[in-house]
Amino acid sequence: MIGISVASGIPDFRSPGGMYDSLKPELITATEKQREMMRRDPTYVVEKSMFMNNQFPYLEVRRPFILGTQIHQWKATLAHYFAKLLHTKMGKLTRVYTQNIDGLQYQCEGLPAEKIVSVHGSIGLVSCEACGASHDFDTFCEQVRSSIKDIYNIDDQAPSKSSNIFCDKCQEPTLKPATVLFGGNLPEDFYDYTVKDLPTIDLLIIAGTSLVVSPANSIVYNIPDSAIRLIVNNEAVGEFLGIEYGPHTTRDVFVRGTCEEIFLDLMLLLGWKNDLLELNEKIPHLSYDLIQKKLSSKI
């Protein structure tokens, strides 16, 4: 689930206006060869071989996201709470497999951590890419604030030049949020839980994702043939993975729209109006306004 965080104010990476689309390599601390590689393929900024050679592209691009996470700048959306209510009201949630690194689903009280698999790690945890040692998130944020320059020109207190942040254990400058880099290994719980979960799934909800990143997208075709697949997205995705669109399909259901709009409709159809009203200040303004507009139209 990727696009489910857009309503919180966090743009997804691959859509127009997202990180990859708006990346400006000329502002990043890197060699000209590295900048050219980022121009050709913006995902190179989060590629493991790049990070092990030069940590600044990752840290400079991620700086606002890291510091915003520390102050809880973003809130869980309706789509996050839909998963929570599937568990607390219906007991129907097997697991949330999320490719998001924002950790917003952990804000949903009542949704146990063991029900969440952060396939690509979390921005709110810190570890060393070289030795694996864990580090304190708040301390790391202070180091980012004082050591990493602001390429977005939004923090006039940021240094004009980036300097290394070293791991206390191995002394390498490879400290970063515990997110999975391209070329890195996924967390063990992804493999452990998919083996346990997928054979018994009867409904898979695929929400707000391009389904182009593997092995996360393998979930789509590793469930029983009898399982229904509900695709909530602005565009059709996953045809190359076997998802079928059109009137002839017998198992795939496509609902076009934003995650907030579609999951709000589902929550109302399930009779969760009172639960929606109780969310109030817990959700972003965009989500709140959408609820009020939808409820007003039904009066």
For the stretch 130-146, pLDDT in tens is 999 999 999 999 999 99
Summarize pLDDT for 269-288 with one digit per residue, the tens: 999 999 998 987 788 887 88
The helix, strand and coil proportions of the chain, stated in percent and rounded to the nearest 5, come to 45, 15, 40
* 89 and 52 together in one domain: no
Where b means 16+ CB within 10 Å and e means fewer, 35-68 reads: bebbeeebbbbbbeebbeebbbbbbbbbbebbbb
* 206 and 258 together in one domain: yes
Residues 54-75, mean pLDDT to the nearest whole number: 95
What are residue 207's DSSP bridge partners?
232
pLDDT at site 23: 86
Distance CA 97, CA 251 (A): 20
**CATH value at residue 212:** 3.40.50.1220
Looking at the predicted structure, is the pLDDT value of residue 166 above 90?
yes
* 237 and 286 together in one domain: yes
pTM over 0.75: yes
* 196 and 230 together in one domain: yes
pLDDT above 90 covers a percentage of the chain that reads 80
**CATH value at residue 27:** 3.30.1600
Looking at the predicted structure, is the pLDDT value of residue 96 above 80?
yes
Our count of domains for the chain comes to 2
* 175 and 199 together in one domain: no
* Token code pair at residue 114: 């063991």
Q: What is the CB neighbour count within 10 angstroms for residue 70?
A: 16
State the DSSP H helix or E strand holding residue 255, giving kind and residue range, or none if neither: strand 252-256
* 57 and 145 together in one domain: yes
* 248 and 201 together in one domain: yes
* 128 and 14 together in one domain: yes
DSSP 8-class letter at 246: S
* Structural domain that includes position 168: 3-73+121-179
